Amino acid sequence: MKLNYLRKGLSTVGRWMATSIFCLSAIAFVWQGAFFSHNLAIAAPSLNSVVLADAGDRVKEKVGKDTERAKDFIGDTADKVKRTANRNANKVEQATDDDGNFIERKANRDRARIEERAEQDAAKTQKAVDKTKNAVERTVDNIKDALKK
């Protein structure tokens, strides 16, 4: 007898708990829905696009400045490499008394090769910087277009 009495009590408590959770959930959904029915809670689309356009323009401007700085740095580095190669070749020429021997010719070939390689590397790096800049600008434009719709 006692087991049936206990089961009946647990059943009643369970039903009350399920009913109260259901009611609380319904109240929460109704309350949450009240906030979304007003447009005041949602940001104005026109303001959003203006802010987004301004942020996108600032990103593009910053990328442009940084790209120019990076290109200047790359060019300066290439010039420094060339100057160092010339200095080294001149030191070899002075050490060999301008005889035109094998070591001097080798130093001149190395200088020419280093200068050529510095130009090639600088051009490749600047091209990569331009590609990165273009990719960032395309991404900003795509984000602006996606959020405008």
Could you read off the pLDDT of 7-49 as tens digits, one per residue?
777 788 888 888 888 777 877 776 666 555 555 545 555 555 6
Q: How would you class 99 by CB atoms within 10 Å of its CB: exposed for 0-12, middle for 13-18, buried for 19 or more?
A: exposed
From CA 93, how far away is CA 101, in angstroms rounded? 9
State the first-to-last Cα distance of the chain, in angstroms, to the nearest integer: 68
Query: DSSP state, 149?
Result: -
Share of the chain above pLDDT 70, in %: 80
Q: Mean pLDDT in the chain?
A: 79
Inter-residue contact 43 to 135 (CB < 8 Å): no
